[in-house]
Each structure stands twice: as structure tokens, then as C-alpha cells.
Amino acid sequence: MNDNYRYLRKAVYIALLGLLSTGCGTNSVSQKELAPDALILWYNQPAANTDWTDALPVGNGHIGAMIFGGADTDHIQFNESSLWTDGPRSYAHEGAYKYLDQIRNFLFTGKQQQAEQLAEAHFMGVKNHDPETYRKLRLAWLKKIRRDTTAAAVAYNDADWPVMQLPLLNGWETAGHQGLDGAVWFRVGFDVPEDWKGKDLFIDLGRIRDLDFCYVNGNYIGRDSGISTKRHYLIPASVLHTGRNLLAVQVVNFFDKGGFTGVKNDRPFFVAYPTDKTPKGGVNISRIWKFWIQDDNPPAYPQYEASYQPFGDIFIKDEGRLADGEVKDYRRSLDIRNALSVVTYKRGGVTYTRNYFASAADPVMVIDLKADKAGAVQFETNFGTVHKEHRFFKIDDQTIGLKVQVKNGALFGVSALKVKAIGPNARVSVTDSALKVQGADSAVLYLVAATNFISYQDVSGNPDSLCKAYLASLEENKKSDYRELLQRHQRVYHRLFDRFDIRIGTRSRSDLPTDQRIRQFSVSTDPGLIDLYTQYARYLMISATPPGGRAANLQGIWNPLLTPPWGSKYTSNINLEMNYWPAEPLNLSACTQPLFELMETLAKTGAVTANRHYGAPGWVLHHNTDIWGASAPIDAAKHGIWVGGSAWLSHHLWDHFAFTRDTVFLRDTGYPIMKKAAEFYVHFLVKDPVTGFLVSSPSNSPEHGGLVAGPTMDHQMIRDLFENCIQAGTILGVDQSFRDSLEDKYNKIAPNKIGRYGQLQEWMQDFDDTSDTHRHVSHLWGVYPGNDINWEKDTAMMRAARQSLIYRGDGGTGWSLAWKVNLWARFRSGNHALKILEELLRPAEGAGGGERGGVYRNLMDAHPPFQIDGNFGGAAGVAEMLIQSQNGYIDLLPALPDSLETGWVSGICARGGYELNIWWKHHRLEKVAIKAIAGGSCNVRYGELHRALSVKPDHWYYLNGQLETINQ
């Protein structure tokens, strides 16, 4: 979609937000009655430049930025939603369907390894560079860089080489060398004691990515490769001498992280020792090595899919920092109720304030700098970027520009930073790379950015013109005035954010800085942190994926790395979907629009994949996608060939209708995409020769157990899709014969099965291992987010599903913990759900300096590393504790933990088109208010109590704890 058109459409959404309820309703409880707690993250220190997850996020679906808040030099790292690697291309493998039957036969006869080998060779998607051509180019490049080994010589002059402290767990990218692929030489000296004379030595260097060549005193010792291989070299005594020796290593990195990456245990490394001793009897090798980049231009590495890219950085240097003394009374905060980040501090008797927001109403990020003394605002600001190919330039006397080109990709971007200095003595000077402000009372910075991306097929956009248009629009009707911009931003933001509120308990440690609050968190002393965490997820959703924006990827809209974890893509075997779990229940239904826009693209590209890989109609999505609409299998056959993405995403279409009762959406958007997805599975399902049931093959239970026929999760999702299509067709009065065919197939799909341990089987065969604590719990999809298994339908199967979750354990990565919160809530085990939620809220930075699942100091979720899905999944879990509606009635407080005995929630939503305000006290329902979008019968349940209400649209109905009607 053309970005100009995107913002016209966003303007329409903004207008509708002012007139209509785009969620399930409009909050009826006044802010005064709610008496909201302060929803603020705050800190007594800036974010460390080395800790990106200390910074605070702002965003508007177009620009996402992280605020570090330094007083001497502030750092703002920013992204633009459409900047990705690669470009428009075909992903599906022509003729792959010819191997489908053979792969299935291997699986049906128990030959999993042969099936995976065949699929690896002929069934995977197409990479962006031909692998055979790449191998030839790489070999030629390796020969070139290996011809020059002079850097290994003892006499080589390395006096001007910089140094790097090793190892670096995430590669040399974390030492300021982002995007560095190629050949790098490292040199360090080490001592050989006199009593080791004549002895052969071992040298242990830990892991090195990807390939290395080792030299000692100019002599070639050996080579090794593999990102998990611990480097262990034998050094013959003949090349050594007592005293100082030289170790030189040529490290070759083809793609992604490079360099010395240590080990993940306490095994010693960077140590030399005689062959008759252990590392403990050796000498340590310095962690400070000199290095030289020999060649940073290797052949482009073939990739299955694209990666989301950072755009640039803004640095604001306080020009009075040296003359005016030390910083006092520093505070950095993010007010999520008002979508505003603020930094304040005192220096030299002057109070300085910086306000930051990415406008929800305009395609601009705004930074307001002010002081309480006239003429005291003086600073220099400039762009930075991690993209190797970039250019800084002057636009006019108030504006500088940045242009970046994605490496080996079709996309480029332009950003502009404009300053407006205020005050009679304010002066602005501009160079190609910097803006300088002196003597101002205040100043406002305006950041805009755009790329040449128009659609998954079109990269002909003009980002320079877009940036000029964005800046020009700010001049219209005095919109560039800071107060006017802030008011416009907050008006739009509040229309979404204010639809929901929550207060759990009566205690809150909001008086503590947020990092301390996380470290000290307990439910008994600070239940208010759960409120903050839940509302923070809503803030992140509005900031990352508002109506008119783009779908939230693995990191929402925030990413500082050229090679981000898992490409910061859209991982569709759990993570993309989890990003949208809280949208409907937490009254942000409008924020699903970008997801559905992505699905419209995927339905087109997925149709090509369905045809080429399966000879099937309809559309299919495997376990990952990107901005170009990738839908083919990637990475490896054992987990990349998973066909459930289109079924799972279709569940969101039906859920959107279930919550909103929007039949126009169902007719025009939801049902057409769902129907095409169902058409694929009608063709794809195949008869199992042993049981006679229809099964999904080939596929896998995500990232667990390899390629199989008939994973339980697939069958649950396909049944869900068929059932929803039948209901949708009935409501719309269409496709009777298609509905009949779906019902026939539905009854033939392999059912859920209980295994020998009383567990829900993950596969057709009873392979489950009770000691298996794998992070994915895919076979429990039918409990949540689906409803294939529930207490009303089959209590025995529900107990088996619960037993499976018990066996899996309570540990896990961030998103895995979030899924378990929701599952335990569906099991109506509120105490257990809260126990997992507490794990999700633990500090991600462990006592040993490593990372674990939990939250970082800025409350962002730790996989680790950062993934936003855990934030969204955890907030959805809070909603599931308080209300469920998947079984045709509204279930009030179905999984309320014992320790959350008092609280209220307003604006929470239920299927059927209902909005509710709920109050509870002493662990009992006190009162509930219900409003319906459409009239009819509303069935309410609380414990053993049931009530059927006849409701009219847009009327509020009040019930007490006995579900009796009361006056309000």
C-alpha cells in the first residue's frame, strides 16, 4: 500500500475513532470514579547505551523509537515500519508438489529421516540467492582472503590496530560492528613459562563464528568451523618459545553474528596449557585483543526470508554540560496513560526538560527541549546509523537529512530532522550532518522517515517526497506548534487507550523506580505492577500496530540490529498470533486491522505456495513470513514444513467477528480469507492408512519432534477453521454445499487422544515423554487460544490436556510463560496462572549476569532476547483470569487467584459483542455492568450462578454478586 494512501486511510480511522466504538464499546465509567493509579515507568538514571532494553519505547505504527535519556548526550534509536532486507520475489518452490506423495509415504511407513532428507532437498522454499552460485562465489572469495596471511607474522606492525574485549556472546555486533560480515584478524600475546619449555600445548578459545584459521608465532596451526564448536588447538613445542608468544586468528564470518562468542557453561577458555595438564593448570590469555578488518564484503548470503531493519539514531549533545557542572535530580519516565516520555534534570541551577512522543495523529516523532531559564537551551544534534551505505545531508537552514540503503536489498529510506528554536536570542546553524541550537528558551525537533516500499510487489516509492510532504503538513494550520501537536496526538491516543482500565488490589509500589519495583515485586506488596504490566501491553499495541499501521513483528516496531534475532520477522507458529491475543478482550479491536491487511497479502502469496507445494487450491502459510508475504517452508524440513499458519490466523478473523458482531467485516474481509484457507485444508487432508482418519501430512508439532503425519495441533486448528466457516456461511446465508463438505470432512479428522500417561497426545502415536519440558505446548492449542477442548465438551480430555501442561512444567521463555498463563486460566486454575505470571514478571537479568525469561528493566518481555509477544500474551492472560466467553456465555472471574481478592476492571470485552465493568471484593463478585453491541439474549455465569438477560443495543445492565438486576 502506498504510504500516502496509508496515511489517508489512517486519517479515516482517526475520524471514526472519534465517532464510533471501534472496539467492543466505549468505557462508561468516569475517570474520576476509576481514580486511576499512576501508569508510569520511571527511573533515576538514563538508560545505558549498551543496554537497549533499558531505553523507553515510543511509537505510532510508522516510527518506533527507543529513548535512552542521557543528560550529557541523549540517544534516540529509531525505526521505520517498512524498512526490511531483500525485495519483491517468489518464495515458493516450483514443482515441489511432485515430491509430496513420496514424503507422505515415508512418514506413513515410519521413515522420518528419509522424509526429512527428501523434503530438505526438494520441498523447501526458494532463497533470495542461488545456493550453488553462492558456493562458487564464496569459494573464490575465501581463496582471495586466504592469500594474504601477513597479519599472522610476528614482525607485522599492528601498532595502529584498535582493540576489542572478548568474548562477546552475541558477536562483534555488540562491540559496535553491526552488519560486519567478512574476514577479521585478531592478535594477542601470551606467555609460556620456563618450565613448559619443550612441551606441546593446547589452546582453548571457546566458540568462534563461523570459520577460523589459527597461527602461533607466524606458524599455521589449524582451522575449525561451526558456531557451536569449542576451538581446541594443539600447539607443537617446535613453534613455541619461553616468554612472550604471538597468537593470531583469522576469523571469517559469512553472515549474522561474528567473532569469539565464548561458551554457555563454566568450561575454561582463552587458556593455554601443556598437554599433560588440564586448563586449570594453564595460563590465561588476555581478553583484550587487537583486530583488523581485512575484508568486509563477502558474497551475499542466501536467505529464506527478509529481516526487519533499524533505520537510524539521533544524538543530542548538551552544549552546556562542561561549564554548568554535575547533573542533579535526574528522572526519566514513560507515562503510558498519556503516551509521553519525559526526561528532567537540574544542572547549574537550571531545570531542563525533554518531552518525547511519536504522534498517533501525524507521521512524526516530536522532541521538545526546554529550560526554566531564558536562553539556556543549547545543544547540537546529529544523525547516526548502523547501515554501512548511508549519507548525511543538509536539507535547509532548519533541517538535516539521512539516507540509508539496505545491504543487498531493494529498499532505501530517507529521514529528516527539523528544528524549531524559540526565543528572541535563539540561533540555529546547520551543516550536512548536524543542527546546532544556541540561546533558545525552548526548541522542538521533528523527525520524519519513509522508504521506497509501496507493497509486497512494488518498491517504486519516493521517500524523499514523502518526508517533505510530512514536514509540509506540519506547517498547515499551525500544526507544528508543540502544544497543538501534543494535543492532537493525545486526543487520538486516548480514544483507544481510555476504553479499558484496571485496578487489582489496593497496594502499589509506584513510588519505587520501575527497575527496583521489578526486582522487589511480590503480589502481596505490589499487585499494582500487574495493572501497569497489563496497560503497558496495550500501550505497546497502540504504539506498534495502530489502525492504519502495519502488523507487529517479533519486536513490535522496535529493533536496533541489522541481524536481529530470528530476523525480527512474523513467526506464525505462535508469535505473530500471540501479538494480537489481547486486542479483542482488552478493547483494542481496531488494532487488528494491520494484521488483517497482512493476511490479505498472505492469502495471495499463500495461494502460489499452496499450488506449487501441494497442488492445492486456497492458501497456506508456513511458520514464518515477512513484509514481502513469504509463505513457503523455511529453515529446515523438520520444523519449517508446518502448514498451520493460515488456519491459526483465520481464527483471529472469526474472533474479531465474535467480539464485534461486525457482519460487514465478516462478509467482505473475514469469510473470504477463511474460506480460501479452508479450501486448502479440504484438499490437503489425507487418509491415514492405519486409523482411516484424515490427517495433516506432512507437518510438525511446532519445533518439536520433527516432520510427522498428523500432529494434534493441526487437527485442532483445522476443525476450528471448518466450524467457523460453517457458522460464518450460515450467518451470511452463502455456500451451503461448501458448508456441507466441511461438515463431512470435520467428522473424519483424527480426534484428540489420551495417551498412556493420562496426557493429551501431541502426535497420532503415543510418543509423549513425561520428562519433556519443551517450550512449545502446541497440542494444547485446542484449549487456548482455540476451543476444541473445554470443560463443557469433554472433561476427560480437558483433564488430559491439563496433565500435559503439568508434565511440561512451569518454566520457559517469555512467550512460553505467557501461553501457560492463558492455559491455566482456561483450566480455571487461577492460582497456578498467577504463579506463571509472577515468573513472567521476574527480572530478566539473572544474578549470574545472564538472561532468562521475564521482563527487562523497561518491562519489555525477554524471550530472551527481547520479543514483544510475551508482553501481549501475558496481558491476555490477565484478561482470561477475569472473563472468558468462548463457550457461548460470559463467565465472570473464572480463574481469579486467591491473592487478588479485591479489584475492578472496566471496558473488558466478551464474545457476542459485549463490554463489561466488573468489581470484586473479598474474592467475590460485587457488581457487574454489561453493555451489548446488538440486542438479544445475554447468558452470564458466575460460579454456579447463571442468568439470561434480554438486552438492547447500547444499554447498560447492572447485576449484583448474585446476578440479580440492580439499579445504578
DSSP string, 118-159: HHHHHTS---SS-HHHHHHHHHHHHHHHHS--GGGSTT---T
Tally Cβ neighbours within 10 Å of residue 321.
18
Q: Is 817 inside any structural domain?
A: no
Q: Is 280 inside any structural domain?
A: yes
Same domain, 448 and 324: yes
- For residue 724, the Cα-to-chain-centroid distance in whole angstroms is 28
Q: Is 676 inside any structural domain?
A: no
User: Is 60 exceeded by the pLDDT of residue 859?
Assistant: yes
Q: Is 469 inside any structural domain?
A: yes
Sign (positive/negative) of CA torsion 715, 721, 727, 730? negative
Q: Which three cell numbers stand for residue 657?
A: 467477528
Beta strands in 525-600 (DSSP E): 570-571
- Residue 510 is given by DSSP the state T
Q: Is 268 inside any structural domain?
A: yes
User: Is 90 exceeded by the pLDDT of residue 265?
Assistant: no
Among residues 246, 267, 295, the one where a domain terminates is 295
Q: Residue 30 has what pLDDT? A: 40
Beta strands in 565-693 (DSSP E): 570-571, 624-625, 686-687
Same domain, 258 and 353: no
Q: In 3-state terms, what secondary structure has residue 172? A: helix
The answer to whether 195 touches 220, Cβ cutoff 8 Å, is: no
Pairing of strands 936-942, 890-892: parallel
Give the global pTM: 0.95
The answer to whether 853 touches 839, Cβ cutoff 8 Å, is: yes
Note the pLDDT tens digit of each residue in 638-667.
999 999 999 999 999 999 999 999 999 999
Q: Residue 480 has what pLDDT? A: 77
Residue/partner pairs of 48-55 with CB below 8 Å, 24 or more apart? 49/75, 50/174, 51/857, 52/77, 52/560, 52/866, 53/844, 53/856, 53/857, 53/858, 53/860, 53/862, 53/865, 53/866, 54/856, 54/857, 54/858, 55/858
What CATH number should be reported for the domain holding residue 338?
A: 2.70.98.50
Percentage of the residues of the chain whose pLDDT score is greater than 90: 90
Output the CA–CA distances (angstroms, integers) from residue 311 to 73, 452, 489, in the order listed. Answer: 19, 13, 23
d(CA 103, CA 686): 13
H or E segment and range at residue 261? strand 259-262
User: Is 50 exceeded by the pLDDT of residue 752?
Assistant: yes
Q: Residue 33 has what pLDDT? A: 42
- Residue 499 is given by DSSP the state T
Same domain, 419 and 309: yes
Same domain, 450 and 402: yes
Q: In 3-state terms, what secondary structure has residue 690? A: coil
Prior bond of 698 cis (ω within 30°): yes
The radius of gyration of the chain from alpha carbons, rounded to an integer in Å, stands at: 29
Query: pLDDT band at residue 147, thresholds of 50, 70 and 90?
Result: very high
d(CA 873, CA 861): 10
Query: pLDDT band at residue 32, thresholds of 50, 70 and 90?
Result: very low
Same domain, 273 and 326: no
Tally Cβ neighbours within 10 Å of residue 655.
22
For residues 262-290, average pLDDT: 93
Output the CA–CA distances (angstroms, integers) from residue 562 to 174, 179, 260, 454, 543, in the order listed. Answer: 11, 6, 19, 21, 22
Q: Which three cell numbers stand for residue 771?
A: 520428562
Among residues 295, 315, 331, the one where a domain terminates is 295
Percentage of the residues of the chain whose pLDDT score is greater than 70: 95
Q: Is 920 inside any structural domain?
A: no
| Burial environment of residue 114 by CB neighbours within 10 A (0 to 12, 13 to 18, 19 or more) | middle
Same domain, 436 and 377: yes
Residue holding cell 473464572?
894
User: Is 90 exceeded by the pLDDT of residue 687?
Assistant: yes
Q: Residue 324 has what pLDDT? A: 75
Same domain, 67 and 157: no
Among residues 498, 514, 539, the one where a domain terminates is 498
Same domain, 260 and 318: no
Could you tell me the residue range of the domain that residue 175 belongs to?
141-295
d(CA 728, CA 921): 40
Query: pLDDT band at residue 837, thresholds of 50, 70 and 90?
Result: very high
User: Is 70 exceeded by the pLDDT of residue 446?
Assistant: yes
By C-alpha distance, which of 566, 571, 575, 642 is closest to 609? 642
Same domain, 291 and 313: no
Q: Is 61 inside any structural domain?
A: yes
Q: Is 616 inside any structural domain?
A: no
For residues 61-67, average pLDDT: 98
d(CA 390, CA 501): 44
Same domain, 337 and 363: yes
Q: Which three cell numbers stand for residue 553?
A: 513483528
d(CA 529, CA 513): 12
Q: How many domains are there within the chain? A: 2
What CATH number should be reported for the domain holding residue 272?
A: 2.60.120.260
Note the pLDDT tens digit of each residue in 705-722.
999 999 999 999 999 999
By C-alpha distance, which of 85, 119, 90 is closest to 102? 119
Note the pLDDT tens digit of each residue in 503-555.
999 888 999 999 999 999 999 999 999 999 999 999 999 999 999 999 999 99
Same domain, 215 and 189: yes
Same domain, 160 and 271: yes
